[in-house]
Structure 1
Amino acid sequence: MDVRHASWFGDAESPLLGHVHLPADGRARGAVVLCPPLGKEHLDTYRGIKALAEQLAERGLAALRFDYEGTGDSAGEQDSPDAVAAWQRSVVTAVETVRASGAEHITVMGLRAGALIAATALPECGPVDAVVLWDPIVSGRVLLREQRALYNVTQGTDDPDDPRVSIIGGVLDPEAAEVLRALKIDARSLTGARTLLATRPAARETAAVSTLATALAGDELPLDGHESFTTPSTLHPVIPAEQLARIADWITAGAPTVAREVHFPIRERAVVATTEGGHPIRESIEYLGPHRMFALRTHGIGGEDAGGRGSSSPTVLFFGTAYEHRLGPSRLWVELAREFAAHGISSVRFDRIGVGDTGTAHRATPTPLYSDTSDRDANDAVAALGVDPADLAVTGLCSGAWYASWVGIRGQARIAVLVNMILWSTHRRKSLRDMLGPPVPGAPGNTADTPPEGVPLRARVKTWAQKYLPYRLWWLLGRLGVTQVPEVVLEALRRAGVSTTVVLSAQDFRSFRDQRGEESLQRLRRRGFTGRIEAGPLGDHGGYHRDGREFLRSAVASAVFREFGILPAEPVTCERVS
């Protein structure tokens, strides 16, 4: 069993969040720096990288995985002009950190874009003993071409007046995009290091990878079926256990046989940002409830001490989306947390059991959504905060929105901000527990008024019922959990006295209407419902569309500020349903 701890490390002005995995006795034969991909690929492979770190620790090695500056939970802005240099500095800092721990043998591993970032950062890292290029993207030009093509196909275009460059799960400043485009793995930067090139067969046949392999003249590992790990078609990336074991064995085989004591200092608090007025924004690492769920608390300015457990200051609890970590679109919660802190509002974001940095990944599976265990995790998180319900706001996207409503209905929060909510039942049938989200969305604005050929009979019946079934019967089916009727959850929140704002992308607003949400609102208004429905003019369910994500951020912030009276409500550019 490995020993793990989270810690901030690196420059005090731009600290990185890392997770260290150590052998149980604290002695290691060497250390491995794990450099992740970017955007959605980092999101999809997060659990697999964690599983590799756990396997390395089992084999007697220390492993450090981390978020680059401006990504995940680390400090920095993702759209900084200096972003690429910041990612490379992050690799250098990680290598320096493991070297300072006392490890004499150092391996650097990079997955996908992480291989490109790591390889181009190596000249500044000092001597390393081994390098693993895991399914590498060999040039920034290829990376941007692939990412831009995928973004355009799935999300459509962005506002042309905003020059930032969107990729799936992130956004780049134009200067950073140009720097990234110029990057290329040069085998000479790996000279003197033992190398492993792990590639998909199709990639190995390309001229760029073939040339790199010849120049490296190192070991190789074929990766069959790797797409289901790096680019999964479902919410469940397939962790390639056999391939991870072979990579871990290769790294271990080159490490010294004698283990040395290593020391990684634990730093549980850090200044992650500074306001325009010069006030520091602090975050602390915490573990919530009896199952010690990993959490980060962002302390509101002026309330770093009062903003802890038992606080009477306004606090926001973020619920994660499905099986996602705070990467890609989910970095929205990180950015909102720091925005709230600048106005004196504390916040907590956490990982439920088996997700992100709570629990293990190797030989384990995440806790299913909408299960009794996930219910318990939500309850434990709220209880661990020690915040008066009158001071608590809860929010999340999709399944996170459902859990925000679940907490509110139980009288544990003052305000619920439900983002891209699709499950409107309080009674969850087994079939609904299996419904983790809609299909991968198409370009914004693409929809169909009638179901396409090949749609199952059940779906056709549901489509008919949505349009023609008397609303009272439709509502009754919603009460039973057979259909999704917004009135069911919203009425429960009204009865609980929870101030409610529903924030919907264009795609989810269409779904809201299809579920007869406007009829729901008319009935709710007659009973005194004062909640708001904020509908964006564009955007997808997952928050991958850049401008749609900006709308979500602005709408959530306005709802929280408005409720706590911290700032006058800023106008939100959206379509309001009332």
Structure 2
Amino acid sequence: MATQQYPSKDILYTPQAFWFGDVASPMLGWYHPARVRDAGGSRQCGVVLCPPFGHEYMVSYLAYKHLAMHLAKAGFDVCFFDYNNSGDAADAEGDRVALWQKNISQAATQLRQLAGIEHIALFGLRLGGLLAGSVAAAIDARALLLMAPVISGRAYAREMLVLRSMSSLQAEVDPDRTIDPNHVQTDDELTGYEFTAATGSSLGKLDLSKLPAPAMPVFVQARDDISGQESKLVQAWHHHDHALHLSELPGYAAMMCEDAHDTVVPTAIWQEMQAWLGRYFPLNEVSSRDLPITNPVANIVFGHVVVEEELVELEGMSGIVSRQAGANIKALPTVILCNIGANHRVGNHRLYVTLARNLASHGFHVLRFDKSGIGYSKTTPDDKENDVHAASSVDDLSSAMYFMQGKYHSPSFVLAGLCSGAYMAYLSALRDERVSGLVLMNQLTYRWREGDTIEARKKATIKSTHFYVHALAKGDTWKRVLKGQVDFRQIGGNLLRRTGKRLRTQWQLLTTYLMHNNLFLGQVARNFKNLEGRGTELLMIYETSDTAVDVMTEQFGRHAKLLGQSERICLKFFRGADHTFTPRWSQLALVDFISKHLLHRFSHRQQDQTVTAPIAALQRFDAAEHIAKPAAADVAK
């Protein structure tokens, strides 16, 4: 009875996902209503959280969510959103910088309407700080919070160009092959994200230090990894009559790490920001209020097709279902995309967003969702976040399949994932016969033991043997050797272990051939043979220089010979990309191939037609061959 009369505060104040903005190019936002019971009232102020760009957006996503939760618990209404052409939002044409500035204004307007408040504060990290500062006066913001803000857009654009020129992707391409210049990193991309010369030019026109000093309280958080420019910004703005606070608390570097799995939420900084902002917006008593009904469905134009995307929640996990209006769900299996490491459902470089919409445009229903502990989903059963290999992940995938069966009547499922997402898809397929297909991209492990850690795996990981063989012919390799920059002990030890495993695999292959018995295969190979025998379509995709190639070879032999000849098993190799398919040409080629392959395999299944795509017809996808052949021929090889 007590529970019914006094429901959980978490239920009353759960963040709500919603679509907003232009109908032709909607954005996704998360509304965190002020938790008036926790705070003792409402601040009558909303905070719009403006995200940074590219990789910085991915690794700071969890920290942004926690900042929103801190502010909501203190009585602020909060909106965290994705700009157009980023995250889950739709793509839109036009000048990116002007578009993102407009997006911030739209988010502020939307938050005012949702929360019924007038005052707005803006928070921005890195590029988000520059954008927030550039529009603060135009949207009549009453406070500005900047964390390690980009001060000069021109300097930031130069920094991005330097970062692009330092990329080793093109240098790692096989030197024996001629690479088509259309299929390497271009001048219009940066670490897998579109960053054109026009965007750099537009950013060059923005400089916080040259803007009029904001007529509002300002909080500036300095970075703690390198000497930033925050103190110079404070000096440039010191003459205005409003409070300006410079904080030097540590926490920035630990948050902005290389991998989202390693990010540390800067709780102390968030608490300081919350306390500082609270001084300017005191609590007001308010009566209880109902949460607004937000729009769960958006129509997004993808190519020449309109894809409907619906926000869903399944047992405390958040997701988006992409489908084409009028598509027959029983004609094709539903595709479920499994998280890449600790990255939320959009995937590295928005790979999953592009893949989901492309598949939907071909008639598939696609669910991209965050398992427990990732993004806005609930924590794992042991109350952890960013637990990449949590045992509960398999249960989460099972729940996702039951959800899609109940709501959309999905007949069967294809599970797709990259790296750890591939591992979780593989484990789920072993347990669940509803899985009729697997798409495994650069799978690095087939067995995760209790006590294993990602850190230990990273230290023990080297590139593929193929990579090192070709590296010996490069002059730069020997220069690094002479400078002592090559760890021969680690590389040599791993190569010796690989050689031993390959010899064992060759023995298994010979014994299996002579004895005509699969009992001599290793457990993982037997698992794959059982999946194939069950009728599961297996598509395994690798980048040629990635460690995943050697891991696969250790389990199945060269070119997966231990798995035998089967039309249901297909290997695909990409050359010139990397583990997460960073170059944009490789992303587009990967998405195109997966969509056509699944359509080819499952549309033929529906029509009961015989298909011949044996594993012996091994597919190589080189940069020089990218989309050079007709699509149908490429799929059928």
Q: TM-score, normalised by structure 1?
A: 0.84
Pick one of 115, 126, 130 that aligns with 1:112: 126
For 1:404, the equivalent position in structure 2 comes to 425
Aligned length: 556
Pick one of 431, 443, 449 that aligns with 1:429: 449
Pick one of 55, 68, 80 that aligns with 2:70: 55
- Is 1:559 the counterpart of 2:591? The answer is no
- Is 1:339 the counterpart of 2:364? The answer is no
CA gap 1:484/1:269 in 2 versus in 1, 3 angstroms: farther
- More displaced, 59-68 or 430-439? 430-439
**2:73 is aligned with what amino acid?**
E
Question: 8 Å contact 1:84–1:176 — kept in the other structure?
Answer: yes
**SS of alignment partner, residue 319 of structure 2:** strand
Q: Distance in 1 between matches of 2:200 and 2:465?
A: 27
Q: Distance in 1 between matches of 2:510 and 2:76?
A: 57
* Structure possessing the higher radius of gyration over alpha carbons: 2
CA gap 1:292/1:209 in 2 versus in 1, 3 angstroms: same
- Is 1:392 the counterpart of 2:413? The answer is yes
For 1:574, the equivalent position in structure 2 comes to 621
Question: 8 Å contact 2:462–2:494 — kept in the other structure?
Answer: no
**SS of alignment partner, residue 564 of structure 1:** helix
For 2:506, the equivalent position in structure 1 comes to 471
CA gap 1:275/1:198 in 2 versus in 1, 3 angstroms: closer
**SS of alignment partner, residue 565 of structure 1:** helix
For 2:440, the equivalent position in structure 1 comes to 418
CA drift at 1:342: 2.0
**1:542 is aligned with what amino acid?**
T
Q: Distance in 2 between matches of 1:377 and 1:399?
A: 14
For 1:69, the equivalent position in structure 2 comes to 84
Write the mapping of 1:103-142 to structure 2, written as runs, cut at 5 A: 103-125=117-139, 127-142=140-155
Q: Deviations over 1:520-558 (max 9, x none)?
A: 6222125x4641111101111123333332332222222
Pick one of 355, 366, 376 that aligns with 1:357: 376
- More displaced, 326-335 or 384-393? 384-393
The percentage of counterpart residues that share the same residue type is 22
For 1:294, the equivalent position in structure 2 comes to 318
- Is 1:452 the counterpart of 2:487? The answer is yes
Pick one of 559, 574, 590 that aligns with 1:536: 574
Question: 8 Å contact 1:420–1:504 — kept in the other structure?
Answer: yes
Q: Deviations over 1:47-85 (max 9, x none)?
A: 0111111111111111110111111111115xx553222
CA drift at 1:453: 2.9
CA gap 1:441/1:559 in 2 versus in 1, 3 angstroms: farther
CA gap 1:118/1:367 in 2 versus in 1, 3 angstroms: closer
Question: 8 Å contact 1:40–1:327 — kept in the other structure?
Answer: no
CA drift at 1:351: 0.6
For 2:626, the equivalent position in structure 1 comes to none
Q: Distance in 2 between matches of 1:173 and 1:50?
A: 29
- Is 1:146 the counterpart of 2:164? The answer is no
Q: Distance in 2 between matches of 1:452 and 1:463?
A: 17
**SS of alignment partner, residue 52 of structure 2:** coil
CA gap 1:76/1:514 in 2 versus in 1, 3 angstroms: same
CA gap 1:8/1:496 in 2 versus in 1, 3 angstroms: same
CA drift at 1:205: 5.4
CA drift at 1:151: 3.9
**SS of alignment partner, residue 18 of structure 1:** strand
- More displaced, 256-265 or 111-120? 256-265
**1:545 is aligned with what amino acid?**
P
Q: Distance in 2 between matches of 1:328 and 1:81?
A: 24
**SS of alignment partner, residue 430 of structure 1:** coil
**2:54 is aligned with what amino acid?**
G
Structure 1 segments, 4+ long, off by >6 Å, are 261-264, 439-446, 473-476, 483-486, 566-569
- Is 1:494 the counterpart of 2:532? The answer is yes
CA drift at 1:165: 2.1
Question: 8 Å contact 1:318–1:348 — kept in the other structure?
Answer: yes
Q: Distance in 2 between matches of 1:263 and 1:185?
A: 39
CA drift at 1:242: 0.9
CA drift at 1:463: 3.4
Q: Distance in 1 between matches of 2:273 and 2:591?
A: 39
**1:400 is aligned with what amino acid?**
G
Q: Deviations over 1:447-476 (max 9, x none)?
A: 435993342997465234235446347999
**SS of alignment partner, residue 424 of structure 1:** coil
- Is 1:11 the counterpart of 2:22? The answer is yes
Q: Deviations over 1:483-529 (max 9, x none)?
A: 99973553242133211111112333643565364436222125x46
Q: Distance in 2 between matches of 1:313 and 1:123?
A: 51
CA drift at 1:168: 2.7
Question: 8 Å contact 2:220–2:230 — kept in the other structure?
Answer: no
**SS of alignment partner, residue 274 of structure 2:** helix
Q: Distance in 2 between matches of 1:75 and 1:348?
A: 17
Q: Distance in 1 between matches of 2:19 and 2:25?
A: 10
Question: 8 Å contact 1:15–1:270 — kept in the other structure?
Answer: no
CA gap 1:501/1:406 in 2 versus in 1, 3 angstroms: same
**1:564 is aligned with what amino acid?**
F
CA gap 1:64/1:233 in 2 versus in 1, 3 angstroms: closer
CA drift at 1:34: 0.6
**SS of alignment partner, residue 281 of structure 2:** coil
Question: 8 Å contact 1:5–1:21 — kept in the other structure?
Answer: yes
- Is 1:92 the counterpart of 2:105? The answer is yes
Q: Deviations over 1:271-320 (max 9, x none)?
A: 3422555x5321111111xx3211111122313xx65xxx6654211111
Q: Distance in 1 between matches of 2:347 and 2:137?
A: 28
Pick one of 297, 307, 313 that aligns with 1:281: 307
Question: 8 Å contact 1:402–1:421 — kept in the other structure?
Answer: yes
CA gap 1:406/1:529 in 2 versus in 1, 3 angstroms: farther
Pick one of 191, 197, 202 that aligns with 1:174: 197
**SS of alignment partner, residue 400 of structure 2:** helix
Q: Distance in 1 between matches of 2:456 and 2:295?
A: 33
CA gap 1:374/1:312 in 2 versus in 1, 3 angstroms: same
Pick one of 230, 249, 265 that aligns with 1:239: 265
Q: Deviations over 1:100-133 (max 9, x none)?
A: 23213211000111101212233432x1110001
**2:79 is aligned with what amino acid?**
L
CA drift at 1:241: 1.2
- Is 1:523 the counterpart of 2:578? The answer is no
- More displaced, 250-259 or 145-154? 145-154
Question: 8 Å contact 1:398–1:437 — kept in the other structure?
Answer: no
CA drift at 1:369: 3.0
Unaligned runs of 5+ in 1: 477-482
- Is 1:377 the counterpart of 2:415? The answer is no
- More displaced, 200-209 or 238-247? 200-209
For 2:3, the equivalent position in structure 1 comes to none
Unaligned runs of 5+ in 2: 1-9, 172-179, 473-485, 512-520, 613-617, 623-633
**2:61 is aligned with what amino acid?**
Y
CA gap 1:469/1:525 in 2 versus in 1, 3 angstroms: closer
**2:335 is aligned with what amino acid?**
V
Question: 8 Å contact 2:545–2:575 — kept in the other structure?
Answer: no
**SS of alignment partner, residue 591 of structure 2:** helix
Q: Distance in 2 between matches of 1:193 and 1:250?
A: 13
